[in-house]
Structure 1
């Protein structure tokens, strides 16, 4: 009897999973359950080129609709999964339909975090996660004069850059003392703060919102110090929460995300998880869950191999990127919480062209960020994977190549 593999989640991770199954010539039935009405698309352009009007949906759709037909993938658009029943191997849909499966992949992604404040659901308050969110926000940016963004993470800063391109006055409210503090630390956070100030963004750091003022639509936000920021629109960009409801209801093992092994299998051998929700037992970092585009792109191939009975492991370094104004950045690696580290810079932050490296106490490179320096990704990954203790003075000296790990390596005391 032919097997049925079901994938729940209509984002990049879900689409890439069904693609990988067909590429590996799985002959059975494949169903992709998508809560949105649009076929799967990539999300990074929503806060970048699409929001700025420089891209169309077709430019970042994972596949055209015809691909699903040609590859015999049953694409269920506008369909929400409401329950998962591992005992009977069934997924339950909002209309009470139950679909049987032999193997199932959870690729349910994340949803925006909400703030427990007055006014957050009022007209003129925006979130950015889905295509419809981006359409509404883009329409707002074309007509408003003042935007307040709550949250100076990646989404908040990318939208700030796009809003400035529309000529909108932008204020960003951030609870931490620098933007991107948890992601990059204070030194690189300050670099991004300066970048946005140079482009006319007003930052309110170490600040908290007490209320969104909405007597009749948004008029501004009030901070906890009593000050008020007038606004015609507000974007709440305070992070995302993984969509764990199906996994929790099914009794799967969960910590910060759905716990999976290196093959992306959950505590149930017939259920896998990929993308934002997957907390992977990474060989270098232990339990690791990151909401990065690269995971959604690359984990599905491993999941498909595992489903088909092949040995596969997800060992990729975390990777993400951003585009803000004329700045392009890539980040490779991971700095675990609580690890003592320092940042050294190769190049010039003043010229906005450099590679920043995060070193641990043994002077091994944990992560690196290249800003307006391209073609070095492979070199950076090799340096991190080497586990070599480096000489920081050589690492920042452009006379030494990032490829020459032996030249950068710190020699043990007494070695030749």
Structure 2
């Protein structure tokens, strides 16, 4: 029997089935991986994905980097192009081959926990044994006068990226509000396009929530060297329209007015947890789950950007916005649905490509970490890492254009191998060699 039940189907009739399967709300990285992992782990029941956006689910991270860059450089006349395509998470044949029902352009509007059903906006009702919220997050809205003026954009979806790509064909003065990952990724792409780019950031350093102060300050200088007009300790107060009714100026909290024929607001995201809250599930900056990613309802789980989970590496409830977290959550929850009982404890890691800078992070840094720079931080050609120590033991590593350090750090930290500050600063030390030394069998 299909996971799709008619609206007139009684819950008791559906309950007589051997299995009513798994319904996944959300067609992003977490939702697709959960479905794929269920199948690869041997689940034979119905698997249904409800995806709000039309078309095949796609990768979001490249939208502010690779996809947008390709969109801007594809035109033979140098004015940009239109043939760049988003990167699909899975090909169309995957869903048929794996017997996964993909409902695109459909919105879940209500979850009835007693009857274990999900109602869609078009009247369809899905019945589940297990329900997985993989609803992701949405852009945080700016309560700023003039925010609705034409020419002001967010960047979260493929539609957003397409609109921005088209707008950049003619933009000359770009203002980015927010110096987080997305804001700086877009800012460097616009700078490469030849635009004059101003970045307004209310905090004292870029990417302040994610990076050590040391690396945040380094990025501030490095981006200014690239040509970004990075304004720290300066937020947005209002937007002003020109004679054509479109945005023309961004007015900052200092009263300065910056020319802007294109604005991108990147001030963070909010979890899509309203549907879960309406169903009576606990929410607190995300859908609250336990160490197995299960909500207060034993049949309902939450994963990815929308989930607030007990992170052993952060020391408490946490919500992470990363592909790694989404995919690892998805693999774990598939195992739990199939009977696994281990708590979630994967090491977090992240990345961001900003112009010539490939930033990679292993584990979550803390403001009080002791930091040591290893390598060459010259902004003209940087290849270095920031080692973060807690109580004299390596706890996290931030790397710029050092993929070998990043990969080795992930292995070391995930394996629980202790590297002391003294060892890390010894002559000839390398993370790669240290990992091999600690993991290879001793010679006989």
Q: TM-score, normalised by structure 2?
A: 0.86
2:248 is equivalent to residue 219 of structure 1: yes
For the residues of structure 1 that align with 2:177 and 2:311, how far apart are their CA atoms? 33
Aligned match of 1:33 = 50
1:43 and 2:87 aligned: no
1:114 Cα deviation (Å)?
0.7
Tell me, yes or no, if structure 1 residue 120 matches structure 2 residue 147.
yes
| Residues 1:14 and 2:31 aligned together | yes
Mapped to 2, the partners of 1:36 and 1:195 lie a distance apart of 37
Three-state SS of the structure 2 residue aligned to 1:376 is helix
Query: What is the CA distance between 1:255 and its match in structure 2?
Result: 2.4
Shift of 1:173: 0.3
Q: Does residue 388 in structure 1 map to residue 405 in structure 2?
A: no
Give 1:379 shift. 2.4
- Partner SS state of residue 250, structure 2: strand
Q: Which residue of the partner structure matches residue 114 of structure 2?
A: 87
Deviation at 1:282, TM superposition (A): 2.9
Instruction: Report the Cα distance in structure 2 between the residues aligned to 1:389 and 1:372, rounded to whole angstroms.
Output: 22
Determine the C-alpha separation between the residues in 2 that align with 1:63 and 1:111: 23
Residue in 2 aligned with 1:343?
Answer: 371
Q: 1:140 aligns with which of 159, 167, 171?
A: 167
Output the CA distance in 2 between the equivalents of 1:396 and 1:150. Answer: 39
Q: Deviations over 1:127-156 (max 9, x none)?
A: 000000000011111211110000000000
Q: CA deviation at 1:404?
A: 5.8
Determine whether 1:262 maps to 2:291: yes
User: How many equivalent pairs are there?
Assistant: 405
What is the root-mean-square deviation of aligned Cα atoms in Å? 2.2
Does 2:290 match 1:298? no
Partner of 1:414: none
8 Å CA contact retained: 1:58, 1:64: no
Matches within 5 A, 1:6-405: 6-53=23-70, 60-215=87-242, 216-284=245-313, 285-336=315-366, 340-350=368-378, 351-360=381-390, 362-385=391-414, 386=416, 388=418, 390-392=420-422, 394-397=423-426, 399-403=428-432
- Kept after mapping to 2: 8 A contact 1:5/1:104: yes
Change (3 A) 1:289 1:123: same
Contact 2:210 2:364 in 1 (8 A): no
Tell me if structure 1 keeps the 8 A contact 2:58–2:86: no
Given that 1:400 and 1:407 are in contact with CA atoms closer than 8 Å, whether structure 2 keeps it comes out as no
Any stretches of 5+ residues in structure 1 without a counterpart? 410-416
The question of whether the paired residues in 2 share the 8 Å contact of 1:180 and 1:189 is answered with yes
Aligned with 2:384: secondary structure? Answer: strand
Structure 2 unaligned residues grouped into runs of 5+? 1-17, 75-82, 439-444
Q: Which moved more, 1:70-79 or 1:155-164?
A: 70-79
Tell me how far apart the structure 1 counterparts of residues 224 and 435 of structure 2 sit (CA, whole Å).
40
In structure 2, C-alpha distance between the alignment counterparts of 1:154 and 1:316, rounded to whole Å: 22
User: Following the alignment from structure 1 to structure 2, what is the Cα–Cα distance between the partners of residues 172 and 4?
Assistant: 48
Contact 1:364/1:387, CA 8 A, preserved across alignment: no
- Separation in structure 1 between the aligned mates of residue 207 and residue 435 of structure 2, nearest angstrom: 33
Aligned equivalents of 2:279, 2:53: Cα separation in 1? 23
> What CA distance in whole angstroms lies between the structure 2 residues aligned with 1:58 and 1:261?
38
CA distance in 2 between partners of 1:227 and 1:379 (Å): 45
TM-score (norm 1): 0.92
Could you tell me how far 1:91 is from its partner in structure 2?
A: 1.0
Asked if 1 retains the 8 angstrom alpha-carbon contact of 2:106 and 2:121, the reply is yes
Per-residue CA shift, 1:276-322, capped at 9, x if unaligned?
Answer: 01122233433221111111122211111111222343211111101
1:406, distance to aligned residue in structure 2 (A): 9.8
Match of 1:413 in 2: none
